[in-house]
Amino acid sequence: MKNENKIHPVAYQDFSAHLKISFDNSIDFKKEFEEDILEIPKYAIGSYFWFIPDNSKMSIVDTSDNIHELTSFKKNEWKKYFPNFLQHVMIPEDFIYFLGGVEFMISYLENIEITERHNYRFNIYARIKNKNNDYRWMVIQFPRIIYNNEGKALSSLIVISDLSNFDIVNQPVMSLIDSSNKRKPFQRAFLEKDTQKVNCAYITKREREILSLMISGHNSPQIAEKLFISYHTVENHKRNLRKKTNCKTSTELVYTILKNNLL
């Protein structure tokens, strides 16, 4: 496998069909992960929360008690849905990338001997809302996955750590580390998308201000309020930016600006 791979965005319906599995769901996953949860502080690199999914019901079994302190939803709200619930707290582009990343991870691991899988550590980086509804870079980790006898994933402990205090890459990225140190120690995979190089000299100061707010997750009315300009002026700037960057949507525009480091 090459050091860099392409991760394809995945729609939730396709993701659910691939991940969902039928099994005897009498397993107490929270109890199964008790020791793993106690180990999280040893490797967490910032404030974190965790949750445990059940792949037979596509639901969340349990979450950490502090989840309301790091996200805009309470514990009982998180336990209603999985994983489409993440679309409410994650930037849309990052959400479909997250689904693609998880699907890539599961497919990758299922092609490895089950006794070797514990040597691999996947990390997915994405922008998630904090309790103030501000998007922050966070890292999503899967320290342990439980498999059935056929090697299919039944559940996993998912840990999400806040990276807002770190200067990380400016686009969605997933890293893979082999902790056994027997193979290539580090690999990365980026979201597959062709973008056109853009000359930043064509982007005005006002357009940069608008782009910065867009990247932070603000919509047009919020941008207009913050910059003391009209909604229509914001939309005109966005339209001009899409034309300059040859983008069709605001999501594609943000991705192009981030990938080409134009701010």
3-state DSSP of 71-127: CCCCHHHHCCCCCHHHHHCECHHHHHHHHHHHHHHHHHHHCCCCCCHHHEEEEEEEE
Domain boundary among 191, 222, 243: 191
Instruction: Indicate if 219 and 112 belong to the same structural domain.
Output: no
Domain boundary among 191, 209, 234: 191
Q: What is the predicted pLDDT for the residue at 1?
A: 41
Instruction: Indicate if 172 and 209 belong to the same structural domain.
Output: no
User: Order of strands, edge to edge, in the sheet holding 48-54?
Assistant: 4-7, 186-191, 173-178, 120-129, 135-147, 153-162, 48-54, 59-63
Cα end-to-end span (Å), the chain: 33
**Phi, psi of 37, rounded to the nearest 5 degrees:** -65, -40
Instruction: Indicate if 100 and 121 belong to the same structural domain.
Output: yes
Q: What is the predicted pLDDT for the residue at 88?
A: 84
Domain boundary among 140, 172, 191: 191
Instruction: Indicate if 230 and 110 belong to the same structural domain.
Output: no
Instruction: Indicate if 141 and 251 belong to the same structural domain.
Output: no
What pLDDT, in 10s, does the model give residues 141-166? 999 999 988 888 999 999 998 887 65
**Phi, psi of 91, rounded to the nearest 5 degrees:** -55, 135
Q: How far apart are alpha carbons 58 and 12 in whole angstroms?
A: 11
Q: Are 173 and 180 in contact (CB under 8 A)?
A: no
Structural domain range at position 119:
4-191
Instruction: Indicate if 86 and 28 belong to the same structural domain.
Output: yes
Instruction: Indicate if 126 and 51 belong to the same structural domain.
Output: yes
Instruction: Indicate if 80 and 166 belong to the same structural domain.
Output: yes
Instruction: Indicate if 58 and 86 belong to the same structural domain.
Output: yes
Task: Tell which residue, 167, 165, 176, has the closest CA to residue 48.
Answer: 165
Query: Residue 218 maps to which CATH number?
Result: 1.10.10.10
Q: What is the predicted pLDDT for the residue at 66?
A: 92
Q: Are 157 and 33 in contact (CB under 8 A)?
A: yes
Instruction: Indicate if 139 and 48 belong to the same structural domain.
Output: yes
Query: Residue 55 maps to which CATH number?
Result: 3.30.450.20
Instruction: Indicate if 20 and 62 belong to the same structural domain.
Output: yes
Based on the number of CB atoms within 10 Å of its own CB, is 38 exposed (0-12), middle (13-18) or buried (19 or more)?
A: exposed
The pTM score is 0.65
**Angle between helix 250-259 and 92-110 (nearest 10):** 70
Q: In the chain, which residues have pLDDT < 70?
A: 1-5, 24-25, 80-83, 165-201, 259, 261, 263
> 212 to each of 22, 53, 116, 257, how far by Cα in Å?
45, 34, 43, 10
Instruction: Indicate if 70 and 110 belong to the same structural domain.
Output: yes
Counting the structural domains of the chain, the total is 2
